Structure 1
Amino acid sequence: MKHFMKISFCCLLLLALAACQQPATPVADSGAGKAAAPTAATAVDTAANADSSAAQEGVATSPSFDCGRADGKVEKMICDDAGLATLDRRLAERYGAALARAGANKSMLMSSERGWIKGRDDCWKADDMRQCVLESYQTQLVDLQINHGDITVPTAVEYRCDDNSKPLTAVFYNDLDPKAAVLTWGDDQTIVFPRRAASGARYGRSGVDFWEHQGEVKVDFYGTTLTCTTPA
């Protein structure tokens, strides 16, 4: 198997440049059950940052595809980057497991795989190509675990914001690898990852920043800024 996929459910779509522009990331509402809502602080420890643990290992490895046939800037970069190559192999394993459980949905997953590859390869257009590719892999790893893994979906945390035209919620997946949170603002949804912060808990991705500190949450959601309070 050379690559893997991006899953789309219902009308939710991932926009161009994979994770580097404003994606509406599909996230299932169902799972093995609902758990008590964890907080942002629970998910972020002193070692947390935008890279997953696998991407930080720096162990020499190769991706799941043949680097001798690498095509384009993105594939060649993955072959030369041990962290991205490790993520590629991890995602290949996750995709293979999802495909084995897909049953009648196998053809849909295979079609979605091709769409994900196209989005990832479009990262050559991004200002920071590596960050775009990294977030593309991280997002797909989380998406596969949420939508095709046997996990308990935590209860969403609801926030009160100065712009109350649309609700803001966050679901913190502290037990996934990589750790992640799903932010939903109205009908828009995205997956964000832990980032280092001097204090409080911070998550983000290209275009999105979520910082919870002393009961206040500052959010930049693709250019829309919000100031929110955490639930009592």
Structure 2
Amino acid sequence: MRHLLTSSFCLALCACSAAPSSPSFPCDAAGLSGIETLICQTPELAQLDTQLERVYAAAVAESKESDILPAYQRGWIKGRNDCWKSDDPQGCVRESYRTRISELQAQYQLLPASASADFLCGGGNEPLSVSFYPSLIPTAQVSFRQQSSLMFQQPAASGSRYQGQNESYWEHHGEASLVWGFGAEPLTCVQAQP
């Protein structure tokens, strides 16, 4: 009897761990896109979809612009669904989720910053502030000239490198190089004294 109970427990445990992940939307709904069908069929993508649902709900709770965030999310879903055009739709969807989760985690400070630093740029006249977040893809929130840019960590041979839409930040041994805007010349920034 004891052996039978142990075997039954092991079977139940295996069945639970092998249970497929399900996304935040019903997989049996009519009219699913090809990408939504792919998400339903791929446990990793289904798990990322569920994670994004939780992160998005937390961002909505933190947001002061309740009408803008849903519009951006609808735009993101449209972009995610365009992954059918990619040579690697599954990889495209995976990176789309990872980027969106990381963006929301940092933008709405759903995670505490792991570090922050202040610099003076362009001969010491212009302040630069950077906060780093341990999101799914490590991110930096960079503030300069009364504007802010969310940047994602990039591979670097040395130091830390982050890339935004038209901005980049690279730091090495207390000195930073900042490009702020399309075609802008790099600025040298030195760490501000506490």
Pick the structure with greater CA Rg.
2
Offset from partner CA, 1:61-103 (integer Å, 9 cap, x none): 55322455444x875776677665443321211334566x67x
Q: Cα 1:231–1:119, aligned 2, differ >3 Å: closer, same or farther?
A: same
- Aligned alpha-carbon RMSD (Å): 4.0
CA–CA separation in structure 1 for the residues paired with 2:50 and 2:166: 27
Q: Cα 1:202–1:166, aligned 2, differ >3 Å: closer, same or farther?
A: same
Offset from partner CA, 1:77-134 (integer Å, 9 cap, x none): 76677665443321211334566x67xx89x64x344212233145349xx8946664
- Structure 1 residue corresponding to 2:127, chosen from 143, 154, 167: 167
CA–CA separation in structure 2 for the residues paired with 1:213 and 1:166: 19
Matches within 5 A, 1:65-84: 65-66=25-26, 69-71=31-33
CA–CA separation in structure 2 for the residues paired with 1:89 and 1:113: 18
- Which residue is 2:187 aligned to? 226
Q: TM-score, normalised by structure 1?
A: 0.51
Q: Cα 1:97–1:179, aligned 2, differ >3 Å: closer, same or farther?
A: same
Shift of 1:209: 2.4
CA–CA separation in structure 1 for the residues paired with 2:102 and 2:178: 21
Q: Cα 1:207–1:137, aligned 2, differ >3 Å: closer, same or farther?
A: farther
Shift of 1:161: 1.6
| Matched residue SS, 1:203 | strand
Q: Can you give the 5+ residue segments of structure 1 that lack an aligned partner in the other structure?
A: 1-59
Q: Percent identity?
A: 24
- Which residue is 1:158 aligned to? 118
- Structure 2 residue corresponding to 1:180, chosen from 139, 146, 155: 139
Offset from partner CA, 1:145-199 (integer Å, 9 cap, x none): x1xx4x656775221222766432101234x555322101112212223222211
Q: Can you give the 5+ residue segments of structure 2 that lack an aligned partner in the other structure?
A: 1-19
Aligned: 1:135 with 2:91? no
Q: How many residues align?
A: 161
| Matched residue SS, 2:71 | helix
- Structure 1 residue corresponding to 2:150, chosen from 191, 194, 209: 191
| Matched residue SS, 1:181 | strand
Contact 1:167-1:185 at 8 Å conserved across structures? yes
| Matched residue SS, 1:184 | strand
CA–CA separation in structure 1 for the residues paired with 2:168 and 2:97: 18
Q: Cα 1:187–1:75, aligned 2, differ >3 Å: closer, same or farther?
A: farther
Q: TM-score, normalised by structure 2?
A: 0.59
Shift of 1:210: 1.7
- Which residue is 2:75 aligned to? 119
Matches within 5 A, 1:193-208: 193-208=152-167
Matches within 5 A, 1:67-106: 69-71=31-33, 85-97=46-58
Range that drifts further, 160-169 or 187-196: 160-169
CA–CA separation in structure 2 for the residues paired with 1:142 and 1:153: 8
Shift of 1:142: 2.6
| Matched residue SS, 2:24 | coil
